[in-house]
Amino acid sequence: MSAGDPKHPLLFQPMTLRGLTARNRIMASPMCQYMSEDGMPTDWHFVHLGRLAFGGTGLVFYEETAVEERGRKTYGCAGLWRDDQIPAFRRVADLIRSVGATPAIQLGHSGGRAASHGAMRDWTPLTDADTAHGLPPWKPVSASAISVGPGRQTCHPLTPREIQDVVTHWADAARRCDRAGFDVLEIHGAHGYLIHQFLSPVTNKRDDAYGGDRNGRMRLALEIAEAVRAAWPAHKPLFFRVSSVDGRGGIWDIDDTVALAAALKARDIDAIDCSSGGVSGNSAMPIVPRVPGYHIPFVRRVKKEVGIATIAVGLITEPQHAEDILRSGEADIIAMARELMYHADWPAHAARALGVADPFDLLPPAYAFRLRRREDISKLAINQPGAALSSDATKLIETT
């Protein structure tokens, strides 16, 4: 197939990783909704994720899901730390699969960013005053005794024994994700949460085996990767999300990320999801400019130097741009979030824009049937303007 063949865009070719084949290379990124109850999905999640799956996306991710109760950012965050939470998650996974998409889930731990209000209150920290409203703050944990922002508590630095408990929580949560019916799992190691707090020298001030040089700071990430890979079925893909660079004034950079990605590849991670930001400091590191495809330079380096599948995310909203990224070989999957919130049927519209013969095939059959009928009627009107319609055409209109 030639790179310029519009009838077979890479964006809509099936993608196989391990024992999984997704229907296309569009991924709905994890999007925290802050609508969970006791960590579990509600009707909001059922509608939100069903909407994404109906629109033709290949991989539909449940939001970041905490591996232990204190690992949530807010009381409204998702979590899968108990077996009795599994059935509620299974209902969502079953819905996503029933309309042709692949159910996926991301596991995370907020670390020092715990005990907050939600996004619409700018993640302001909980205080003792919130206790009267049933929202008492809890003690956040991290690599070191740091505070991750103004007004936040000083974190409890995890001991080596406590770190091993956290690693066990990750493995246990991965097993629950499998039992809940998810087919892809992603480890969240980015955006200033616990794993990233260990990776960056800005937040990791330890002088033991989990701190110091880059190898020490990567130790938690790699131990979690090993434990989750061992717990997660061998035929199911495992992704890892990284902050390719810290935020403004940070220290962790793309050279560090390439080294981490190589170590993760050696531990059977299947794809690196390249994001950025989350840890800020006082260095000269600039913020990454928010332009279309702003993570592509990071994706390109990881793909070229490590030889692992990569996921591109970051203001990729135009179908041809997404296709060009895949054609260039820089990435294997295109991830989207807010664009899909705004335009959940983006995959079907992108398929039409890129010349896919039957873009309606991405939609559920009950939708596709009626939309194809409308298309047939439109063609009749264009081809026979002002003419009396045939009996077949009249019947088509009357039964649509």
371-388 average pLDDT score: 71
- Least Cα distance to 256 among 279, 227, 231, 224 occurs for 279
Q: Tokens standing for 159? A: 């001991």
Q: Which of 142-146, 338-342, 377-381 has the lowest mean pLDDT?
A: 377-381
Give the DSSP H or E segment for 20: strand 20-22
| Pairing label, strands 156-157, 141-142 | parallel
Say which residue the tokens 């505070």 belong to: 147
340 and 394 housed in the same domain: no
CA 227 to chain centre: 20
The residues with which 21 forms a beta bridge, in sequence order, are: 16
Cα dihedral 195, 197, 202, 205 sign: negative
Tell me which of 62, 193, 342, 367 is the catalytic residue: 193
DSSP secondary structure string for all residues of 364-395: -HHHHHHHHHHHHHHHHHHHSTTSPPPHHHHH
Cβ burial of 303 (10 Å; 0-12, 13-18, 19+) is buried
| Pairing label, strands 26-28, 102-108 | unpaired
Confidence tier at 388 by pLDDT (50, 70, 90):
low
Number of domains into which the chain is organized: 2
Report whether 333 contacts 271 (CB < 8 A): yes
In a domain, residue 2? The reply is no
pLDDT of residue 376: 81
Residue 90 has pLDDT above 60, yes or no: yes
253 and 211 housed in the same domain: yes
Q: How far apart are CA 358 and CA 305, in angstroms?
A: 37
76-104 average pLDDT score: 98
- Give the amino acid at 18: R
Residue 383 has pLDDT above 90, yes or no: no
Report whether 88 contacts 95 (CB < 8 A): no
47-68 average pLDDT score: 97
250-267 average pLDDT score: 98
In a domain, residue 337? The reply is yes
32 and 148 housed in the same domain: yes
Angle, to 10 degrees, between the axis of helix 254-266 and the axis of helix 296-306? 40
The 10s digit of each residue's pLDDT in 311-328 is 999 999 999 999 999 999
51 and 64 housed in the same domain: yes
In a domain, residue 3? The reply is no
Query: Is 193 one of the annotated active-site residues of the chain?
Result: yes
Q: Provide the CATH number for the domain around residue 73.
A: 3.20.20.70
Q: Which of 3-7, 44-48, 350-354 has the lowest mean pLDDT?
A: 3-7
In a domain, residue 73? The reply is yes
250-to-200, 247, 384 alpha-carbon distances in Å:
8, 5, 64
303 and 393 housed in the same domain: no
The residues with which 59 forms a beta bridge, in sequence order, are: 27, 102
135 and 67 housed in the same domain: yes
Residue 9 has pLDDT above 70, yes or no: yes
Residue 114 has pLDDT above 60, yes or no: yes
pTM score, two decimals? 0.93
- Least Cα distance to 38 among 10, 72, 8, 64 occurs for 72
354 and 380 housed in the same domain: no
Residue 191 has pLDDT above 80, yes or no: yes
373 and 267 housed in the same domain: no
In a domain, residue 4? The reply is no
Would you say how long the chain is, in residues?
400
Residues spanned by the domain of 325: 10-359
In a domain, residue 380? The reply is yes
312 and 371 housed in the same domain: no
Give the DSSP H or E segment for 177: helix 160-179
pLDDT of residue 3: 40
In a domain, residue 5? The reply is no
300 and 389 housed in the same domain: no
Q: Tokens standing for 313? A: 């995310």
DSSP secondary structure string for all residues of 103-123: EEEEEE--GGG-SB--GGGTT
26-34 average pLDDT score: 97
Report whether 258 contacts 297 (CB < 8 A): no
pLDDT of residue 374: 87
Residue 4 has pLDDT above 70, yes or no: no
CA atoms within 13 A on the CB side of 216: 13
Residue 310 has pLDDT above 90, yes or no: yes
Question: What is the overall mean pLDDT for the chain?
Answer: 94
pLDDT of residue 237: 98
98 and 160 housed in the same domain: yes
Q: Tokens standing for 236? A: 């199911």
Q: How far apart are CA 23 and CA 333, in angstroms?
A: 12
Confidence tier at 8 by pLDDT (50, 70, 90):
confident
| Pairing label, strands 309-313, 184-189 | unpaired
The 10s digit of each residue's pLDDT in 277-306 is 999 999 999 999 999 999 999 999 999 999
In a domain, residue 1? The reply is no
- Least Cα distance to 285 among 256, 311, 313 occurs for 256
172 and 58 housed in the same domain: yes
